[in-house]
Amino acid sequence: MYKQAHYDEDFLIDYNTGSDYILDGEKCDLPENIKRKSLKLPNLRSFDVSRHYTKLSEMNYSVDIGMYPLGSCTMKYNPKYNDYIASMEIFTDVHPLDYEENIQGSLEIMYNLQEYLKLISGMDFVTLQPSAGAHGEFTGILIVRKYFEMRNELNHRNEIIIPDSAHGTNPASAAMVGFNVIEVPSDENGLINLDALESVVSDHTAAFMITNPNTLGIFDDNILKIAEIMHKNGALLYYDGANFNAILGITTPGIMGFDIVHFNLHKTFATPHGGGGPGSGPIAVKSFLKDFLPVPVISKKEEKYFLDYSIKNTIGKVSSYYGSFAILLRAYSYILKNGNDLRKNTEKAVLNSNYMAGQLRNYYNIPYKKLKKHEFVLSTENTGKRALDISKYILDFGIHSPTTYFPLIVKEAMMIEPTESSTKKEIDLYIEVMKRAASMDDETLKNSPVNTSVGRIDEVKAARNLILHW
Ligand SMILES: *Cc1c(COP(=O)(O)O)cnc(C)c1O
């Protein structure tokens, strides 16, 4: 008889009959109170089931229905061929514990993806293990810690500097690895305030974590100066790659002087994401940090690919097996399919964003003068309107809201990132709806949405009174 070690035998029960399982010839005595008395399954036509789930899916919104311009999240349209590739049996039938000689093809793909990511980031070594951007940050900061530990500097290098425009995962990752977080303010142009930075950098500084362009969509052209300040002080520079969609094929964090980079493959490299996954957040490092990468990485020797555990001072393993393989496949197929057009995608993403910003300039505040890249932030501050109400109102037109109330340094913020995959027609509709929202009366705004399957919810109650199952 078949037996699985991790089941608690007391609770095994035959779902059809309600009777006890017989394991290894022994009958388990189930307590009466947990025995099923009857099994009530609804008696439905398959037709009814199909209609029920189709109706549910229609209550939802997704990139398959329309544009999803959530700033910072890079919700581009995900071409179906990537899903097709990832669902091929030659990949889904691979077992992660199979012998290396049987999975040479999968290893080759991962190896090649590592090579592409090196090229794209201008870095020297890559691990594909982390399962999200935040997980990549955590892994990267573990490497920072290991680097200073090996140099016997960890006692005093206990601070990580992070700008006030940063994504919340940055300080969270730094704190989880045990560093103190020091916040540095942005200047009147939305850039890193260099004087403020110099005043907080010291021999306590382990690293500075930034994304460039930042969460305002502004490229910080002081980046080489920033890298110099950090390196002069013996600290490292960490690149949050969530905004890669603004630089892919044009410049690299390597050129900008960064030491560690994470990618959000599920953002820049077209994988469906949201609702907590699935994701993939590889990291890349300059060669002086290669000895700290998590094991294994995929290496190649005499035309054979293998899982390389020979990394000297590795931080260990950060993921089960070798990362989110199905997401790696999608990223690989996306890169191969686009080839040299990756740069064109970037240019189009920046153009789309600037076109939208230009059209909405007279209807909303756009803080900070400097040119925006692939995303921009609107604000309703001083207009008497709330960003939340605008975001709810536009849902009635079958379009998705922008990222609302982020970044934190802009009051009443709405952050828009159209990506390269929105058409002009879609963008123009979005602009029209946003213009209409700007002049809508307060009563209508406060009561919207009215056409969605769920109306205005009580946000405070939803946050305070969590009901996570029913
Ligand atoms: C999305 C995002 C992250 C975190 O990435 P996840 O993949 O969601 O964990 C970090 N920084 C910025 C700027 C982001 O937009």
| 3-62 tens-digit pLDDT | 343 444 444 444 444 454 555 556 677 888 888 888 888 888 999 999 999 999 888 888
More confident residue, 453 or 380: 380
What residue ranges do the domains of the chain occupy? 1-41, 94-338, 342-464
Q: For the chain, what is the mean pLDDT? A: 92
pLDDT in tens, 277-335: 679 999 999 999 999 999 999 999 999 999 999 999 999 999 988 899 999 999 999 99
Q: Is the pLDDT of residue 243 over 50?
A: yes
Q: What's the count of helices (H) and strands (E) in the chain, helices before strands?
A: 16, 14
CA of 270 relative to ligand 1 center, distance in Å: 14
Q: Which atom of ligand 1 is nearest to the CA of 132?
A: 7
Query: Which residues are CB-neighbours of 428 under 8 A, at least 6 positions away?
Result: none
User: Could you give the CA distance from residue 265 to residue 248 in angstroms, rounded to a whole number?
Assistant: 12
Backbone angles phi, psi at 101, to 5 degrees: -65, -20
Is pTM beyond 0.85? Reply is: yes
* Residue 64: pLDDT band with limits 50, 70, 90: confident
Q: Is the pLDDT of residue 79 over 90?
A: no
Q: What angle do CA 343, 348, 354 make, to 5 degrees?
A: 130
Per-residue DSSP letter, 21: P
Q: Is the pLDDT of residue 411 over 80?
A: yes
Average pLDDT (65-91) is 91
260 strand-pairing partners: 238, 285
Q: Which atom of ligand 1 is nearest to the CA of 211?
A: 13
Shortest-distance Cα residue to atom 1 of ligand 1 = 73
Q: Is the pLDDT of residue 274 over 70?
A: no
In angstroms, the Cα distances linking 66 to 61, 360, 429 are 8, 20, 11
pLDDT (0 to 100) of residue 1: 36
Q: Is the pLDDT of residue 435 over 90?
A: yes
| Range of 15-24, 120-129, 276-285, 447-456 with top mean pLDDT | 120-129
Residues with CB under 6 A from ligand 1: 72-73, 132-134, 167, 169, 211, 215, 240, 242, 264, 279, 281
CATH no. of 94-338: 3.40.640.10
Q: Is the pLDDT of residue 417 over 60?
A: yes
If one residue of 72, 215, 218, 403 were mutated to test the ligand 1 pocket, choosing by the most ligand atoms within 8 A of its CB, it would be: 72
Average pLDDT (101-122) is 97
CATH no. of 342-464: 3.90.1150.10
* Residue 276: pLDDT band with limits 50, 70, 90: low
Q: Which candidate, 95, 69, 142, places its Cα nearest to that of 423?
A: 69
CA of 169 relative to ligand 1 center, distance in Å: 7
Shortest-distance Cα residue to atom 11 of ligand 1 = 167
pLDDT (0 to 100) of residue 27: 67
Q: What angle do CA 316, 317, 323 make, to 5 degrees?
A: 150
What is the token pair recorded at 189?
Answer: 């142009």
pLDDT (0 to 100) of residue 26: 63
If one residue of 72, 238, 264 were mutated to test the ligand 1 pocket, choosing by the most ligand atoms within 8 A of its CB, it would be: 264
CA of 275 relative to ligand 1 center, distance in Å: 13
If one residue of 68, 169, 260 were mutated to test the ligand 1 pocket, choosing by the most ligand atoms within 8 A of its CB, it would be: 169
CA of 385 relative to ligand 1 center, distance in Å: 28
Shortest-distance Cα residue to atom 2 of ligand 1 = 242
Lowest model confidence (mean pLDDT) among 67-81, 157-171, 211-225: 67-81
SS3 assignment, position 445:
helix
Q: Is the pLDDT of residue 257 over 60?
A: yes
91-94: long-range contacts at Cβ-Cβ below 8 A with a sequence spacing of 24 or more? 91/325, 91/326, 91/329, 94/325
Fold match flag (94-338 vs 342-464): no
CA of 406 relative to ligand 1 center, distance in Å: 12
CA dihedral sign of residues 251, 255, 257, 261: positive
CA of 312 relative to ligand 1 center, distance in Å: 30
CA of 279 relative to ligand 1 center, distance in Å: 10
CA of 34 relative to ligand 1 center, distance in Å: 44
Phi-psi region of 249 (alpha: psi -120 to 50; beta: other; left: phi over 0): left
Residue 52 burial (C-beta neighbours within 10 Å; 0-12, 13-18, 19+): exposed
pLDDT in tens, 339-395: 989 999 999 999 999 999 999 999 999 999 999 999 999 999 999 999 999 999 999
Q: Which candidate, 362, 365, 343, 345, places its Cα nearest to that of 353?
A: 345
Q: Is the pLDDT of residue 138 over 50?
A: yes
Q: Is the pLDDT of residue 78 over 80?
A: yes
CA dihedral sign of residues 139, 141, 147, 153: negative
